[in-house]
Amino acid sequence: MTGAGAGTGIEGRNGPTTAAAALTCRGLTVDLGDGPVVDGVDLDLRSGEWLGVIGPNGAGKSTLLRAAAGLIDHGGDVSLPDGRRPGPLDVAIVPQIPTVPDTMTVAEYTLIGRTAHLRWLAGESAADRRIVGDTLRRLDLARFADRHLGSLSGGERQRVVIARALVQDAPILFLDEPTSALDVGHQASVLELVDDLRHADGLSVLAVMHDLTTAARFADRLTLLDRGRLVTTGPPIDVLDDAGLSDVYGTPLTMRIIDGDPVVLPTPRHATPNPEETLP
């Protein structure tokens, strides 16, 4: 498995690239009272990349994301390229379980994303509402603008949550397992939407992802956590190493290349893993 590095080059899923850091974490530590949940993690999110954070339950993935966003107290340093700590104008978040009031309309809910731009005691401006309208059209949600959130499907509601994050107009997007409550079809469509927007707008995406195959499909690089500590960071094909994954997840796992993409599968009990084997 490859070691984590802080160099300027990224060997991503699309080949070698060079990009400046959009967000840097050094020695990031979170202690919730029973010992560190995140323990001295160094992490670099590069400009325009999708960095996936993976690991078993309890590895500290969501806690790392919340700490990097400044939502919880932490040790260590989280900084932007200019040395500032990130704030609401820098990082937008799509939480794992968003609060979505059934009686609020799509337009009203999306407009909440503009709160970070409002001056003290000021209301939303015509420009704020125009940004909301443009974003809803872009995400094919304009026809739902006056619909109540409770009347939407799961996939539609998740797109609205993403719309609220996008109108925040932040250059960095954090995703905390945003598709965990969706079926396979809606999962793919939501993540493809985020990926399209990333390429179109140059967003930098830091995403906690549960499914390893999906993470490999969308991420340029993966960061693997175990019990709060960084195990490795690198291209998906390197991080998804049979022996390393099996050790971290506590069960035999095998990575195969299928149609050019890494796929992680449980190792059959009667089979001996062969890292050189590929399927057509």
Question: What is the crossing angle of helices 154-166 and 184-201, to 10°?
Answer: 20
* Residues 131 and 144 grouped into a single domain: yes
* Residues 14 and 148 grouped into a single domain: no
Query: In this predicted structure, what is the pLDDT of residue 121?
Result: 52
Domain harbouring 50, CATH code: 3.40.50.300
Alpha carbon distance 229, 17 (integer Å): 26
List beta partners, residue 262.
257
* Residues 139 and 181 grouped into a single domain: no
Residue identified by tokens 């820098």 is: 90
Per-residue pLDDT of the chain (280 residues; tens, 9 = 90+): 433 333 333 444 544 455 799 999 999 999 998 889 999 999 999 999 999 999 999 999 999 999 999 999 999 999 999 999 999 899 999 998 888 899 999 999 999 999 888 866 566 789 999 999 999 999 999 999 999 999 999 889 989 999 999 999 999 999 998 887 778 877 888 899 899 999 999 999 999 999 999 999 999 999 999 999 999 999 999 999 999 999 999 999 999 999 888 999 998 766 555 555 545 4
Q: Could you tell me if 4 and 45 are in contact, meaning their C-beta atoms sit under 8 angstroms apart?
A: no
Q: How many CB atoms lie within 10 A of CB 20?
A: 10
Q: What angle is formed at CA 177 by the lines to CA 19 and CA 46, rounded to 5 degrees?
A: 5
Alpha carbon distance 68, 76 (integer Å): 10
Longest dimension (CA), the chain: 66
Q: Could you tell me if 107 and 146 are in contact, meaning their C-beta atoms sit under 8 angstroms apart?
A: yes
The answer to whether residue 198 sits within a structural domain is: yes
* Residues 31 and 162 grouped into a single domain: no
Residue-wise DSSP of 237-266: HHHS-HHHHHHHHTS-EEEEEETTEEEEEE
* Residues 22 and 136 grouped into a single domain: no
Q: Could you tell me if 250 and 267 are in contact, meaning their C-beta atoms sit under 8 angstroms apart?
A: no
Which tokens hold the place of 98? 């968003």
* Residues 21 and 154 grouped into a single domain: no
List beta partners, residue 93.
174
